[in-house]
Amino acid sequence: MRKSSQVTQSKIAKLLGISTVTVSKALRNHPDISPETIQRVKRLANELGYTPDLIARALSSRRSNIIGVVLPEIDHTFFAGVMKGIYSVAEENHYQIVLTVSREDDQREVENLQTLAAMRVDGILISISQKTQDVQIFRKIRERKIPVVFFDRIPDDNGFSSVVVNDREAAFQAVQYALDQGFTRIVHLGGLQHISIARDRAAGYWDALHAAGMKENDGCVIPCGFSEEDGYLAFKQMMQTQPRADAVFTVNDPVAIGVYDAAKETGLRIPEDIGVIGFSDNIISRYLSPPLTTISQPAQEIGRRSVLLLLEALQRPDRQSPRQEVVPARLIVRESCLSKKRMETTGS
């Protein structure tokens, strides 16, 4: 025989001489129950310190009020910002968050998704790992009637709802700004090209070059990872293969930081010898010297919108067409890519 000292609905029911269902309904202000009974139940529940058992409720009602989240990494400024947005909206709507981390590993990502499904989360928010190629698992989740919303890093299959930044356009602006400042041999350290955001940013880069009347061989995209280390290495590589480069546009800020390190080591001054523009506005960026010109992504806003999109899908479970939302990123001009022209003219 299992015994439990917990205060349950049936204890309250017994004490008041009513049925457990009445208690359940009373606690939820169900119209079936008279105001007086509701009062009596709630008062006693309060006195006894009753708390609903959310697990039991979830099993019975088939709604867990939990949203599952899968993140590639947890200690990245951008994702931390997204999470902040996610939490604020989730809290307002009385949802709890179960956060899992794939650590950029597609296998772990699959496991995370399976666990979340097994926990019966009501919906899932995910930004996919660097390695993710296979979309199967997402289809399976959808078959299970669990709505999924992707954010920032989305799969190629566009049959899903998603919230992204206007990467291409923002990249275009960044590169155009560099051109305006008089830089002419701009190289793009471009991330892994099978990731949507990396492709989009590279596309924006080419857009800007083309718009300026430049051709394929006036530009160069060097693929690399997304970390400082990767940026450091890619920049070193670039100095070998593209010695005439006068500016770099990086796929994200950590890579730009790697570039700072490599440049410092080589004795190159920023922006006098080499201009740098990043992407994502890491908190660090404004404290670098020189402060990094970069693209600011509204991380919290992305998180907030993702939850809202998911909540909408939860409200009407009939299949609805997926929706893609785009939130605007914008260029933050600081000092790492300041006018070459002006510097030269004022300098000599």
Nearer to DNA by C-beta: 4 or 217? 4
Residues binding its own copies (CB under 8 A): 2, 4, 6, 49, 51-56, 58-59, 62, 64, 66, 74-75, 77, 80-81, 83-84, 87, 96-101, 114-115, 117-120, 140, 144, 257, 283-284, 287-289
Pick what 36 binds: DNA, its own copies, none; C-beta below 5 to 8 Å, kind-dependent: DNA
How many CB atoms are closer than 10 A to CB 160? Answer: 20
Minimum CB separation from its own copies for residue 119, in Å? 5
> Stretches 48-56, 211-219, 233-241, 301-309: which one binds DNA (CB under 7 A)?
48-56
Classify residue 31 by burial, with Cβ atoms within 10 Å: 0-12, 13-18, 19+: exposed
Which of the choices DNA, its own copies, none does residue 295 contact, using the CB cut-off of 5 to 8 A by kind? none
10 contacts DNA (rule: CB under 7 A): yes
Query: Rounded to whole angstroms, how far apart are CA atoms 278 and 255?
Result: 8
Show the tokens assigned to 76: 């990245």
Catalogue the E-assigned strands of the chain.
66-71, 96-101, 123-126, 148-151, 161-165, 186-189, 220-222, 247-250, 275-277, 294-296, 324-327, 330-332
Rounded distance between C-alpha atoms, residue 208 and residue 188, angstroms: 12
User: Which whole-number Å values give the CA distances from 25 to 40, 200, 203, 315, in the listed order?
Assistant: 13, 52, 57, 22
Single out the residue of 96, 160, 91 nearest to residue 126, CA to CA: 160
Q: Toward DNA, which CB reaches closer, 144 or 244?
A: 144
Closest CA to 257 of 234, 223, 237, 238: 234
In single-letter form, the type of residue at position 250 comes to: T
Q: Select the binding partner of residue 324 from its own copies, DNA, none (C-beta < 5 to 8 A, by kind).
A: none
Q: Which does 239 bind (CB under 5 to 8 A by kind): its own copies, DNA, none?
A: none
Interface region with DNA, contact rule CB under 7 A, candidates 25-33, 104-112, 170-178, 267-275: 25-33
Count interface residues toward DNA (CB under 7 A).
Answer: 34
Half-sphere exposure of 211 (CA within 13 A, CB side): 15
Q: Reduced to 3 states, what is the DSSP secondary structure of residue 247?
A: strand
Q: Residue 8 interacts with DNA (CB under 7 A)?
A: yes
Q: At its nearest, how many Å lie between its own copies and the CB of residue 73?
A: 8
Question: What residues from 51 to 70 belong to the interface with DNA (CB under 7 A)?
Answer: 52-53, 56-57, 59-62
Binding site partner of 329, from DNA, its own copies, none, Cβ cut-off 5-8 A by kind: none
Nearer to DNA, 7 or 212 (CB): 7
Tokens (6 digits) for 280: 């994502």
Out of 32, 91, 156, 273, point to the residue binding DNA (CB under 7 A): 32
Instruction: Return the closest-CA partner of residue 82 out of 26, 5, 153, 167.
Output: 153
Query: Which does residue 136 bind out of DNA, its own copies, none, counting CB within 5 to 8 angstroms by kind?
Result: none
Name the residue nearer to its own copies (CB basis): 75 or 318. Answer: 75
Q: How far is the CB of 178 from its own copies (least distance, A)?
A: 22
Strand pairing partners for 247? 186, 275
Residues that bind DNA (CB under 7 A): 1-4, 6, 8-10, 17-22, 24-25, 27-28, 31-37, 50, 52-53, 56-57, 59-62
